[in-house]
């Protein structure tokens, strides 16, 4: 935020009123600096001589050590009302401002000017000193909250409070009245750059059913006409041209007339819409039939702006407009405040309102400015109401088209409005006085705070049951994507619908609704379900609705979600959408593939009542498919787990060919694999494992037939799972149900020889086959396409027809007599475990789904990341995080999708042909793995980027005592020479490695704003002088080099203390003034280490960045100095490459030569500089360095796209 900086500049230039305005805004945006800002406000007001009671400033930390100037108490905490008192001990008569913060977010400023006779009697004030305020329940989103009352000195009262009721005010439900179609009218006069952005945003975030009318009001810029011609081919775009310039109002009226009977949205060409903008506004319109206009909130729309009223609400670095708009809606209350007028930058108008009161007044307001106010006031007189949509946020650049005419137009327009409507001046005071609008702006501040931490998409997963294969796989998916999405669950059993927020430990039930009208099995609809789910989707603003199973849910769900602006994904985990029989097993126990036979009888459907349907077979099933086909065509993408399942679904449902239908196999992670012993063969009895819940569909009858034919009792079946029948045969052992994580160990205890899957239908995947192979067993399956193709692919088993009992018997006999065939299958199982099992993980499955969640323009091949890290891919060195992981956090808005792999997964992925593009960092690829994948690389089957941030071909002996880099140098040279591109962090590395690979590019080190958020100003007092050094063990020599200089400074500044992180040294004594800070285990990973370091740095005054002068070090980057800026610290650094010139642009530290005298002098100079505390000027310079160091994801993606597209 630049308010404080701009205020300082205005103060220095003598523009005190402007300075005061900036300081007041800064207080709202930067509550952590309130004590400093109040000092500046006091100083400015004293200069202006407008404040009769000056604010006395005293540093809050010093107040803790001396007598406090202010005292007070919060006496009444009866939410929403709060009351208390505050006085100045020294000047009891003064009235002063108090700043109220809720959870460290500025809420409001009030004065202590309530009469308090009791304070007069107690001698604390002259009869005033009281205050009161209210905090609406709806603005508190947590069950407990922190309420802070800050005095002008920075002292404060802090209260941890609990909400009275655990309630959240739901947004008003939409009325059932049907909305009209909508036309968006965009009048244009020049401003081509804004127009391009406006169009792109509209096309990206507006449904194609909405008409977009672009009207060129005789723009003088020829580029406008050319651009409009280029977009005219879009089916929902209409281009109108004015022969002469008609002015804004006539142009808009032309669009309104052209739009026929549609409702209209007036949208400035410098407005920028966001996801679900129009759905949000339409929802607001639908809350009442007498709403005439709706205006969303904005950054630059005057009275309609948030978080601050006015026209200046810049976003922090790293926060995108889309992210903020989403955070704004998620935090919004949905009061929909009634106001006297709307704002024409983006104003929805109901057609009935236009029909009643007419068009905009183009005679009185030909050029604009006042025309929308006049329209709204006319509507108001006729009983229509104008509201603010306080849930929707649209960005605006504000009236570039009118140039110097703007001020005059505003004045003349306002004069006309005041003449026509005597109450206008009074009516518009609601914009500054309304508690509801104020609450919306406060929520905007909360959204701003949250968006700094990153906004991730909300995905609503729809399931029918909480147990079974589909919910378990769904949970795998949710947990695997939990770093990139916020997962929620919607479940329905036809009678009760429940909404859950998914957490790692347990799911939080948000709402549960008993349906007054249960889902009807014939129509598959419940209007009650439709209404409540539509409401939930709007309230919680889901980006994606992923329907994993639609049984017992309303079939209208895809349409509801789509019309709410969600991306809709439909999974098929069985054939319920084709037929309620689910598995397509008919009354003759035959898998029908969806083609009904002519035999008599009817098929059984297991999920509804026995008498709920007319005859399915050759009858109602056709109506069922029509219902589902119509519903599913609202989806954006389909997905199933096998090619065969997709074929069956497409053969039976009439689905649009324009909707992509992907195949994504289920992924599994196994904590343990049972590696088969190829030399251990079955002897007298063949032990056969039958996993799963066994019934007729899972081969129960087949097992009975096999047992009948086993006259020699050479077979023993072990059923691991539930069984429909209780076997009395000693050859059948029932082990009962199992937890999937226990499966391999249970198989170890049983020691079977092979597993069987006797399903008599074409399962869409079959987890039990995966588990059998993970347990080290070859498998016998029946010849249904999905499962047989998996077995055929790796030859890790046998395939039989489901009625071939004799063939099975012969196989069992062969295995007992001759083990060679069996041994071959065991070896193939080992190959599966070595490659496919390792790579087809839950993470790989999840990345494919995440790619599907993107729109078609953002989807593409994933890029594998092989970096130094632990096997879990969670903990890694700082360079891994900084160079790769922080730059490759997946987002739906990014052009590329990334997946982290360990070395085994990388080798398996390359071997199986899944990995086509990769980034390999430093020495993450071992010599052995390199040799195994060389063939694929030489044949251009794999393209990769090698990333280096050190000169690893020339690591000195003191940095490589074990000679690891020396031994690796030959392999690294080969990896470097075969890379499609080598990326490096410095110019010196660029020069050197360009000699090895002429396609070497520079990607400088930078900071990620999520890991390194905006540094916080901490005005430290001068009671101590604390130095901070942090680094890895390899930099011990650097610290030892300057330690004598630090001792020299210590002799002159006794209060000096040195904090050392990450380095231990025998040459630096552990003294009372030297503290080697131990990093807790939970903070050793970089993303956890940074917050730990920031907390430590809050008590330090300067950072130290010594670096020995050497050729190896000269190839390093300035990352350390960037990190000190992220800690909010000035630094003293060695004046050697790579640091030379770093502080030339912003004086955020001192560079010094590597002598004891120079280092001690530089540290002493910094000590003098901060005498009395760190200055705000110095902090602004530090912050400027931090801003310059922040990473931009789109730049990194563009570089990679250019690399891999060649």
**pLDDT tens-place string over residues 749-783:** 999 999 999 999 999 999 999 999 999 999 999 99
pLDDT confidence of residue 165: 54
- Comparing CA positions, the residue from 453, 434, 852, 472 lying closest to residue 669 is 472
Mean pLDDT of the chain: 91
**Residue found by looking up tokens 């006999």 in the block:** 813
Buried b (16+ CB within 10 A) or exposed e, 661-674: bbebbbbbbbeebb
Position 408 pLDDT exceeds 90: no
- Coil, strand or helix: which one is 424? helix
pLDDT of residue 172: 46
Q: What is the pLDDT of residue 54?
A: 33
Cis omega before residue 1028 (within 30°)? no
Distance CA 1128, CA 1176 (A): 11
The pLDDT of residue 57 is: 31
User: What are the sequence ranges of the domains in the chain?
Assistant: 52-162, 182-451, 458-663, 686-837, 860-1002, 1025-1189
Give the Cα separation of 790 and 784 in Å (integer): 10
Helix (H, G, I), strand (E, B) or coil at 1066: coil
**Is residue 51's pLDDT more than 70?**
no
Q: What is the pLDDT of residues 550-601, one digit of tens each?
A: 999 999 999 999 999 999 999 999 999 999 999 999 999 999 999 999 888 8
The answer to whether the beta carbons of residues 796 and 829 sit under 8 Å apart is yes
Cα distances from 1049 to residues 386, 1020, 1083, in angstroms, run: 68, 20, 31
Query: Does residue 1058 have a pLDDT over 80?
Result: yes
Average pLDDT over residues 643-665: 97
CATH class as words, domain 686-837: alpha beta
Strands across the sheet containing 130-134? 70-78, 81-88, 130-134
Say which CATH topology domain 860-1002 has. Answer: Rossmann fold (3.40.50)
CATH T-level topology, domain 52-162: Immunoglobulin-like (2.60.40)
Residue 1174: per-residue pLDDT: 58
For 738-769, letters b (16+ CB in 10 Å) and e give beeeebbebbeeeebbbbbbbbbbbbbbbbbb
pLDDT higher than threshold 50 for residue 169: no
* Contact call for residues 488 and 502 (beta carbons, < 8 A): yes
Q: What is the pLDDT of residues 686-742, one digit of tens each?
A: 999 999 999 988 999 999 999 999 999 999 999 999 998 878 788 999 999 999 999
Q: 819: burial class by Cβ within 10 Å (0-12, 13-18, 19+)?
A: middle
Mean pLDDT of 680-684: 84
* Model confidence pLDDT, tens digit, residues 140-160: 887 889 999 999 888 889 888
CA distance 741 to 720: 13
Copy the structure tokens of residue 689. Answer: 């494992």
| 1025-1189 matches 182-451 in CATH topology | no
Where helices occur in 895-963 by DSSP H, the ranges are: 903-912, 927-938
CB 182 within 8 A of CB 273: no
Q: Convert the pLDDT of each residue in 221-280 to its tens digit.
A: 999 999 999 999 999 999 999 999 999 999 999 999 999 999 999 999 999 999 999 999
pLDDT confidence of residue 1173: 57
d(CA 293, CA 279): 15
Look at the alpha carbons of 702, 707, 711, 715 in this order and tell me if their dihedral is positive or negative.
Answer: positive
3-state secondary structure 958-983: HHCCCCHHHHHHHHHHHHHHHCCEEE
Instruction: Give strand pairing partners of 756.
Output: 780
pLDDT band at 920 (very low <50, low <70, confident <90, very high): very high
Residue 807's H or E segment, with its range, is: helix 805-817
pTM over the 0.85 mark: yes
**Residue 972 predicted with pLDDT over 70:** yes
Residue range 458-663 in CATH 3.40.80.10: no
- The residue assigned the tokens 């490695």 is 993
Whether residue 112 has pLDDT greater than 70: yes
> Contact 529/519 with Cβ under 8 angstroms?
yes
- 8 A C-beta contact, residue 580 and residue 617: no
- Topology classification of domain 182-451: Spore Coat Polysaccharide Biosynthesis Protein SpsA; Chain A (3.90.550)
Q: Is 778 exposed, middle or buried (0-12, 13-18, 19+ CB in 10 A)?
A: buried
CATH no., domain 1025-1189: 3.40.50.2000
Please return the burial class of 683, using the count of CB atoms within 10 Å of its CB with bins 0-12, 13-18 and 19+: exposed
């Amino acid at each position: 935020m630049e308010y404080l900086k701009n205020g300082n500049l205005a103060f220095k230039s003598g523009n005190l009123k402007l300075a005061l305005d900036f300081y007041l805004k800064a207080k709202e945006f930067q509550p952590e600096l309130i004590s400093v800002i109040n000092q500046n406000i006091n100083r400015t007001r004293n200069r202006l001589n407008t404040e009769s009671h000056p604010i006395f400033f005293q540093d809050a930390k010093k107040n803790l050590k001396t007598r406090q100037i202010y005292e007070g108490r919060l006496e009444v905490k009866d939410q929403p009302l709060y009351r208390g008192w505050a006085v100045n001990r020294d000047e009891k008569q003064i009235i002063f401002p108090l700043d109220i913060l809720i959870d460290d977010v500025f809420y409001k400023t009030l004065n202590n000017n309530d009469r308090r006779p009791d304070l007069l009697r107690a001698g604390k004030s002259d009869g005033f000193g009281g205050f009161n305020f209210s905090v609406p329940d709806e603005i508190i989103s947590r069950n407990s909250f922190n309420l802070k009352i800050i005095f002008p000195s920075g002292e404060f009262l802090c209260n941890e409070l609990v909400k009275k009721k655990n309630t959240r005010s739901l947004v008003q439900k939409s009325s059932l009245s049907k909305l009209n179609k909508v036309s968006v009218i965009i009048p244009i006069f020049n401003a081509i750059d804004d127009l391009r952005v406006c169009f792109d945003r509209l096309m990206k975030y507006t449904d194609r059913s909405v008409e977009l009318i672009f009207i060129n009001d005789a723009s003088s810029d020829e580029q406008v006409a050319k651009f409009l011609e280029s977009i005219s081919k879009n089916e929902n775009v209409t281009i109108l041209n004015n022969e002469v310039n008609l002015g804004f109002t006539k142009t808009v009226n032309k669009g309104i007339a052209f739009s026929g009977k549609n409702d209209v949205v007036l949208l400035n060409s410098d407005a920028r819409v966001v996801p679900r903008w129009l759905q949000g506004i339409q929802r607001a319109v639908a809350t009442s039939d007498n709403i005439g206009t709706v205006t969303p909130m904005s950054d630059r729309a005057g009275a309609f702006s948030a978080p601050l009223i006015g026209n200046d609400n810049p976003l922090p670095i790293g926060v995108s407009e889309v992210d903020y708009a989403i955070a704004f809606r998620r935090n919004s209350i949905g009061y929909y405040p009634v106001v006297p007028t709307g704002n024409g930058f983006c104003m929805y108008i109901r057609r009935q309102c236009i029909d009643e009161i007419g068009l905009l007044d183009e005679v009185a307001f030909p050029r604009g400015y006042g025309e929308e106010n006049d329209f709204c006031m006319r509507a108001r007189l006729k009983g229509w109401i104008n509201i603010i949509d306080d849930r929707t946020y649209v960005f605006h650049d504000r009236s570039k088209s009118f140039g110097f005419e703007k001020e005059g137009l505003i004045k003349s327009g306002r004069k006309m409005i005041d003449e026509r409507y005597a109450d206008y001046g009074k009516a518009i005071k609601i914009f500054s006085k309304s508690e509801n609008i104020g609450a919306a702006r406060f929520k905007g501040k909360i959204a701003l705070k949250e968006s700094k931490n990153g906004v991730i998409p909300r995905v609503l997963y729809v399931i029918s049951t909480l147990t079974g294969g589909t919910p378990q796989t769904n949970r795998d998916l949710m947990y695997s994507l939990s770093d990139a999405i916020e997962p929620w669950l919607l479940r329905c059993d036809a009678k009760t619908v429940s909404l859950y927020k998914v957490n790692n430990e347990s799911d939080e039930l948000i709402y549960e609704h008993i349906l007054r009208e249960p889902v009807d099995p014939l129509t598959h609809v419940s209007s009650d379900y439709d209404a409540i789910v539509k409401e939930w989707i709007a309230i919680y603003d889901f980006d994606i609705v992923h329907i994993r199973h639609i049984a017992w849910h309303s079939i209208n769900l895809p349409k509801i979600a789509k019309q709410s602006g969600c991306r809709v994904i439909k999974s098929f985990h069985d054939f319920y959408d084709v037929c309620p029989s689910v598995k397509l097993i008919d009354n003759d126990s035959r898998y029908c593939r969806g083609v009904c036979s002519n035999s008599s009888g009817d098929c059984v459907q297991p999920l509804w009542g026995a008498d709920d349907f007319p005859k399915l077979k050759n009858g109602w099933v056709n109506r069922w498919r029509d219902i589902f086909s119509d519903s599913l065509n609202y989806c954006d993408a389909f997905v199933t787990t096998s090619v065969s399942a997709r074929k069956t679904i497409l053969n039976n449902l009439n689905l649009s060919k324009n909707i992509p239908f992907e195949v994504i196999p289920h992924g599994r992670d196994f904590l343990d694999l049972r590696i088969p012993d190829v030399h251990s063969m079955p002897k007298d009895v063949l032990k056969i494992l039958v996993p799963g819940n066994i019934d007729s569909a899972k081969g129960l009858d087949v097992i009975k037939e096999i047992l009948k034919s086993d006259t020699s009792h050479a077979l023993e079946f072990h059923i691991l799972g539930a069984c429909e029948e209780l076997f009395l045969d000693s050859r059948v052992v029932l082990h009962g149900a199992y937890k999937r994580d226990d499966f391999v160990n249970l198989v170890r205890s049983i020691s079977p020889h092979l597993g069987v899957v006797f399903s008599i239908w074409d399962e869409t995947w079959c987890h039990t086959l995966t588990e059998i192979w993970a347990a080290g067993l070859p498998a016998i399956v029946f010849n249904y396409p999905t499962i047989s193709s998996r077995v055929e692919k790796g030859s890790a088993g046998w395939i039989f027809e489901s009625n071939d009992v004799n063939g099975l018997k012969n196989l069992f006999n062969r295995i007992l007599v001759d083990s060679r065939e069996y041994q071959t299958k065991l070896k193939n199982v080992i190959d599966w475990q070595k490659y496919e099992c390792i790579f087809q993980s839950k993470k790989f499955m999840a990345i494919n789904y995440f790619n599907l969640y993107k729109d078609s323009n953002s989807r593409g091949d994933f890029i594998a990341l092989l970096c130094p890290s632990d096997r879990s891919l969670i903990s890694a060195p700082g360079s891994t995080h900084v160079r790769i992981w922080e730059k490759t956090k997946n987002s739906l808005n990014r052009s590329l999708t990334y997946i982290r792999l360990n070395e085994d997964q990388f080798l398996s992925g390359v071997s199986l042909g899944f990995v086509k593009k990769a980034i390999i960092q430093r020495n993450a690829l071992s010599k052995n793995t390199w040799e195994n994948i060389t063939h694929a690389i030489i044949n251009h089957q794999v393209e990769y980027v090698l990333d280096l941030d050190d000169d690893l071909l020339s690591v000195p002996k003191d940095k490589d005592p074990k000679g690891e880099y020396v031994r690796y140098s030959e392999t690294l040279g080969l990896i470097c020479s075969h890379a499609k591109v080598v990326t490096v962090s410095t110019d010196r590395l660029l020069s050197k490695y360009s000699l090895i690979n002429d396609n070497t590019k520079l990607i400088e080190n930078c900071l990620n704003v999520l890991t390194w958020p905006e540094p916080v100003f901490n005005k430290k007092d001068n009671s101590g002088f604390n130095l901070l050094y942090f680094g890895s063990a390899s930099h011990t020599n650097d610290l030892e080099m300057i330690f004598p200089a630090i001792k020299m400074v210590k002799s002159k500044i006794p209060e000096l203390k040195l904090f050392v992180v990450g380095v231990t040294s025998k040459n630096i004594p552990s003294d009372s003034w030297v503290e080697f800070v131990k990093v807790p285990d939970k903070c050793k990973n970089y993303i956890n280490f940074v917050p730990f370091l920031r907390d430590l740095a809050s008590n330090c005054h300067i950072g130290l960045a010594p670096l020995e002068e050497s050729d190896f070090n000269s190839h390093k980057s300035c990352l350390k100095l960037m990190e000190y800026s992220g800690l909010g610290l000035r630094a003293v650094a060695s004046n050697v490459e790579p640091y030379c010139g770093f502080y030339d642009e912003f004086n955020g530290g001192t560079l010094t030569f590597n002598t004891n005298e120079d280092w001690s002098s530089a540290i002493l100079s910094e000590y003098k500089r901060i005498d009395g505390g760190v200055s705000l000027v110095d902090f602004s310079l530090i912050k400027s360095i931090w801003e310059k160091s922040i990473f931009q994801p789109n730049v990194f993606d563009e570089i990679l796209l250019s690399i891999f597209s060649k």
